[in-house]
A and B are shown apart, each in its own frame.
Chain A
């Protein structure tokens, strides 16, 4: 056990000993020992499938461990399910929120334990207490508003407020920042700090290295269901953390690809969509990687969707190789050689119940005389799996069962089969683990060097700074600047994206 300063002062609130959980064929969590101290932010890091989420579910008593013991303040706990865990002061905010969108904030906060008098809900009391709770997480909104009308960040804070209202002493946050903007993350971190100051222990699952270093007091790295190391933040470097997570050294996460931009392939002129996009013009060259930076909601995805026919446009022109395209639906864009790798592969990318092969060929089904050529489909899929290193025991396996990184590669494979010449990648690294990320960026580089034009949308600046030849910055539906490689700087991009101070770029 590594010793830290916290450990010597206090006794742990939670102590996990030899926790093991097996699923058919997999040991998801293997003999895990973990101590959580009051007032610390304890990050649990690891690749997808490392067992982080399962471990948290065991702590929250959603999953029953096959072996091992959990101690709360030194007392062994028996297993009774999440209600019991919550009653003991362990709360969890899931990645997918568990709020009822058609109920108000206050109704959600007190769902299942409404303050009653003679069987009637005491609405005024409910509202007052809701206001108090919201204030605690620094959320200034009317508790009578419907949850459906809140932003993702606000919903998350409501979830946290609900957790606090159970007098949580241990708060589990499962990848809380996946969909938040920088400012929202900063606000979340403030709330977390307030909670730890009050002695709450925060368990924080995350993929994002920058965050881990920002918020963690201690970091536990898991791999293949085991705890590889628990270290105080001060003893960790980014290199070391990645190495612990992956089990091997990754020298460069975002290898700067060898690109040789050729002639302009795609040109977009004054594209507008009412309320969302205003006169957006840009061009991408063959073999070039053009990045799009901006805050969430700045219109980057909307622009990509509009160009690729997923959303209608009000005005604007699109040229490929100097020829004007008339795109009214995705099929038109695909036929012209455009492809859009969506941000949310589960909601917009994959048919999860269909096989890997069927997903790969979805946009380019081989058929003759109306009948599908199933054998050709199979060889196409096998070739794609090999080429993109998609790890699946069988090409007929349902897409649902693949890891995030492999799912993402399946979506990319689909577009390569359409012979796309311009590929839009919308947050291609979201929710996939470090190893798969490196592979994905290497692939994007390779696609560019083959002469394809790449548009890369990312909210994580280091990705853009390393990968791109040029970066366009969007704000409120406008392209507010385009930087070429020599002009790249994180500050400049953030300034443009936030409109903080007007930097004029020649």
Chain B
């Protein structure tokens, strides 16, 4: 007994260090893997498609993919923030339509120049986000409910305003935003890249970003640490609204008109992009890079399906399965995590 006692004591420091290092590694590795699981899937599918179809790896097709997914990806940048706070925004599709149509009307009815109209449309989105944020923090509605209501309200408003018909007559220059090129690179790609970098910095290098994680991880702890949780939550929903509004403008530019029925079901694509990219609906986890990968994974699958003549219904099934796999992976990771903490 005595002997084993003294042995224990000498063992202790070394043993603890070794033990905690080992316990740390799997978590970090699986963190990496979870990022690369989606990235890996993306690469594998890209390689497979470039073998299966000669068209896939052409610049024209790749730019096409980017342009098609840019709107989804831009809005998903905001969704990343929202989901990290353990929230959700179901209204992004409707808000994008409302903001886009109002932005188009600013040009058509008031003759505003297109940059001002884009700014206006973006601000409309921001206002919707503000309403969402206040409903969540002041009226204490669950994010699901607040934004479900907004989804219906915004869709209703855009149909009232337009009489449910498309708005035509935008200036040609407006096409630049969604269809233009700079040095052969599509403007939506450049826009997305700039916004993604900005969102990444916002999330990883500013108070807003840090508090987004803190609120999602433990709202009460964040509040007691002096964080004005309500204000930051409102900021996050406003940010989501602004991005939805801007995304709506990009979408309208692509079709050079105001389409009141745009974005029906878009919110599900946006949420799927974030979730496939590793955002946890329980909050506290997610990255901009992951969300981008998620968005592109879905876009590439859709594109590949078109190239390989797979019908849209089958595409839908494939996307659904991918969502399942992504979340199953996420939960598997969590469980390992829980076990390693004992």
A residues whose Cβ falls under 8 Å from a Cβ of B: 23-26, 28, 49, 53-54, 223-224, 226, 228-229, 247-248, 308, 310, 329-331, 333-335, 340, 342, 347-354, 358, 362-363, 365, 367, 370-372, 374, 391-394, 397-398, 400-401, 414, 418
The answer to whether B213 and A363 touch across the interface, beta carbons within 8 angstroms, is: no
Tell me the complex Cα distance, A374–B201, Å. 12
B19 within 8 A of partner (CB): yes
Cβ distance A1 to chain B, nearest Cβ, rounded Å = 12
The answer to whether B285 and A374 touch across the interface, beta carbons within 8 angstroms, is: no
The answer to whether A349 and B342 touch across the interface, beta carbons within 8 angstroms, is: no
Given A348-B221, A370-B206, verify A24-B23 contact (CB < 8 Å): yes
The answer to whether B16 and A391 touch across the interface, beta carbons within 8 angstroms, is: yes
The answer to whether A365 and B218 touch across the interface, beta carbons within 8 angstroms, is: no
Cβ distance B20 to chain A, nearest Cβ, rounded Å = 5
The answer to whether A350 and B20 touch across the interface, beta carbons within 8 angstroms, is: no
B185 within 8 A of partner (CB): no
The B217-274 residues at the A interface (CB cut-off 8 A) are 217-218, 220-228
A394: B residues at CB distance < 8 A: 24
Tell me the complex Cα distance, A251–B219, Å. 40
Tell me the complex Cα distance, A348–B220, Å. 5
A363: B residues at CB distance < 8 A: 225-227
The answer to whether A340 and B224 touch across the interface, beta carbons within 8 angstroms, is: yes
Tell me the complex Cα distance, A387–B7, Å. 28
17 contacts between A and B (CB under 8 A): A23-B340, A25-B23, A226-B4, A330-B223, A330-B224, A334-B226, A342-B224, A348-B224, A351-B217, A351-B284, A354-B213, A362-B214, A367-B206, A370-B206, A372-B205, A372-B207, A401-B23
The answer to whether B206 and A349 touch across the interface, beta carbons within 8 angstroms, is: no
B15 within 8 A of partner (CB): yes
B5: A residues at CB distance < 8 A: 228, 247
Tell me the complex Cα distance, A335–B226, Å. 9
Given A340-B224, A358-B213, A362-B221, list of 6 further CB < 8 A pairs?
A: A24-B340, A352-B284, A353-B213, A354-B284, A362-B222, A400-B337
Given A340-B224, A362-B225, A372-B207, verify A53-B23 contact (CB < 8 Å): no
The answer to whether B220 and A25 touch across the interface, beta carbons within 8 angstroms, is: no
B32 within 8 A of partner (CB): no
Tell me the complex Cα distance, A374–B23, Å. 25
Q: Which of A25, A28, A340 contacts B18 (CB 8 A)?
A: A25
B26 within 8 A of partner (CB): yes
B337: A residues at CB distance < 8 A: 400
The answer to whether B210 and A372 touch across the interface, beta carbons within 8 angstroms, is: yes
B228: A residues at CB distance < 8 A: 329, 331
The answer to whether B284 and A49 touch across the interface, beta carbons within 8 angstroms, is: no
Residue of A nearest to B337 (CB): A400
Q: Which of A25, A358, A400 contacts B341 (CB 8 A)?
A: A400
A54: B residues at CB distance < 8 A: 342
Tell me the complex Cα distance, A365–B207, Å. 7
The answer to whether A365 and B210 touch across the interface, beta carbons within 8 angstroms, is: yes
Given A24-B340, A362-B227, A372-B207, verify A350-B221 contact (CB < 8 Å): yes
Q: Which of A228, A330, A367, A393 contacts B20 (CB 8 A)?
A: A393
Given A24-B340, A26-B19, A372-B210, verify A352-B223 contact (CB < 8 Å): no
Given A24-B340, A28-B342, A351-B217, verify A398-B210 contact (CB < 8 Å): no
Tell me the complex Cα distance, A248–B11, Å. 13
A414: B residues at CB distance < 8 A: 225
> Quick one: which of B5, B15, B218 has the most chain A CB within 10 A?
B218
Q: Which of B12, B16, B221 contacts A247 (CB 8 A)?
A: B12
Tell me the complex Cα distance, A26–B1, Å. 22
B110 within 8 A of partner (CB): no
B224: A residues at CB distance < 8 A: 308, 310, 330, 340, 342, 348-349
Tell me the complex Cα distance, A451–B285, Å. 40
B339 within 8 A of partner (CB): yes
The B1-60 residues at the A interface (CB cut-off 8 A) are 1, 4-5, 8-9, 11-12, 15-24, 26-27
Tell me the complex Cα distance, A351–B284, Å. 8
The answer to whether A224 and B8 touch across the interface, beta carbons within 8 angstroms, is: yes
The answer to whether B217 and A352 touch across the interface, beta carbons within 8 angstroms, is: yes
A418: B residues at CB distance < 8 A: 226
Tell me the complex Cα distance, A24–B20, Å. 10
The answer to whether B341 and A393 touch across the interface, beta carbons within 8 angstroms, is: no
Given A224-B15, A351-B284, A370-B206, verify A24-B226 contact (CB < 8 Å): no
The answer to whether A25 and B19 touch across the interface, beta carbons within 8 angstroms, is: yes
The answer to whether B205 and A351 touch across the interface, beta carbons within 8 angstroms, is: no
A362: B residues at CB distance < 8 A: 210, 214, 221-222, 225, 227
The answer to whether B220 and A331 touch across the interface, beta carbons within 8 angstroms, is: no
Tell me the complex Cα distance, A180–B217, Å. 28
> Quick one: which of B26, B205, B226 has the most chain A CB within 10 A?
B226
B223: A residues at CB distance < 8 A: 310, 329-330
A334: B residues at CB distance < 8 A: 225-226
The answer to whether B218 and A53 touch across the interface, beta carbons within 8 angstroms, is: no
A223: B residues at CB distance < 8 A: 8
The answer to whether A351 and B26 touch across the interface, beta carbons within 8 angstroms, is: no
The B164-223 residues at the A interface (CB cut-off 8 A) are 201, 205-207, 210, 213-214, 216-218, 220-223
Residue of A nearest to B214 (CB): A351
The answer to whether A401 and B24 touch across the interface, beta carbons within 8 angstroms, is: yes
Tell me the complex Cα distance, A45–B149, Å. 54
| Chain B positions 296 through 329: 1 when the CB is less than 8 Å from some CB of chain A, otherwise 0 | 0000000000000000000000000000000000
The answer to whether B342 and A247 touch across the interface, beta carbons within 8 angstroms, is: no
Tell me the complex Cα distance, A223–B21, Å. 20
The answer to whether B24 and A23 touch across the interface, beta carbons within 8 angstroms, is: no
Cβ distance A45 to chain B, nearest Cβ, rounded Å = 16
Tell me the complex Cα distance, A49–B19, Å. 11
Tell me the complex Cα distance, A372–B201, Å. 10
For the complex of A and B, the 6 pairs showing the least CB-CB separation, nearest first, are A25-B22, A351-B217, A353-B284, A331-B226, A334-B226, A363-B225
A354: B residues at CB distance < 8 A: 213-214, 217, 284
Cβ distance A278 to chain B, nearest Cβ, rounded Å = 24
The answer to whether B342 and A23 touch across the interface, beta carbons within 8 angstroms, is: yes
B285: A residues at CB distance < 8 A: 353
Given A49-B342, A348-B224, A398-B27, verify A392-B8 contact (CB < 8 Å): no
The answer to whether A351 and B9 touch across the interface, beta carbons within 8 angstroms, is: no
The answer to whether B26 and A24 touch across the interface, beta carbons within 8 angstroms, is: yes
Cβ distance A407 to chain B, nearest Cβ, rounded Å = 11
B220: A residues at CB distance < 8 A: 347-348
B9: A residues at CB distance < 8 A: 247-248
Given A229-B1, A353-B217, A358-B210, verify A330-B225 contact (CB < 8 Å): yes
B284: A residues at CB distance < 8 A: 351-354
Tell me the complex Cα distance, A362–B232, Å. 14
Q: Which of B22, B216, B222 contacts A26 (CB 8 A)?
A: B22
A401: B residues at CB distance < 8 A: 20, 23-24, 27, 340-341
The answer to whether B20 and A392 touch across the interface, beta carbons within 8 angstroms, is: yes
A335: B residues at CB distance < 8 A: 226
Tell me the complex Cα distance, A181–B4, Å. 38
Cβ distance B179 to chain A, nearest Cβ, rounded Å = 34
Tell me the complex Cα distance, A387–B280, Å. 34
B11: A residues at CB distance < 8 A: 224
Tell me the complex Cα distance, A414–B221, Å. 12
A370: B residues at CB distance < 8 A: 206-207
